[in-house]
Amino acid sequence: MYAPSPSRCAGEGCSPYGPLSRGAGEGWGEGGPRALFRRACPCRLCYPCGGVKGRTVTDTILVLNGPNLNLLGTREPGIYGSESLADIQSRLETRAAELSLEIDMRQSNREGELVDWIQEARNGAAGIILNAGAYTHTSIAIHDALRACDVPVIEVHLSNPHAREPFRHKSYVSTVACGIVCGFGATSYALALDAMAEVLAG
């Protein structure tokens, strides 16, 4: 998927993927969120993974899940659905194979562990799909880790936070994500994976 061009780099500058590519201006600038990722050198010769020199080429998408998502299928199924996290993983693995990608799906109830995994993505993942659970609305640490990770991030939620309690309306993930998928239950994850494939394809 990331085969470099046989020609030399066109010299357009290999700026990294991720929020830090945005520059000092507010918002995403001309072209919307996808323009952010098109700033990377199109030949992928210098930076085959889209940004950090020396990063190992990978087609792995890190799918991270935050607190209480280990209880999916039994926790408030009227809101979060009846599928377990293992069910969602199985569905994603099937779809990833169709997209010539791999997923590495993890869940933790601990903020620090999620931060560690996000930092790992700098050298081991092509992108991150993140359902940070309640940490979405509280964690500056996760926000800062995502800003530094230099890979595209898609925020995902099973429910629609904007249709729920006011404290769920603020997201520390959204400001560093290239997109958000929410409100479609377990299908939100599959939609996020499809979107990630498009982002990586450029």
List residues with catalytic annotation: 80, 157
- The CA dihedral of 201, 141, 157, 78, to the nearest 10 degrees, is 160
Sequence length of the chain is 202
CA distances to 41, 45, 64, 119, 177 from 199, rounded to whole Å, are 14, 18, 18, 20, 12
> How many angstroms separate the first and last alpha carbons of the chain?
11
What is the spatial distance between Cα 153 and Cα 146, in angstroms, rounded to a whole number?
8
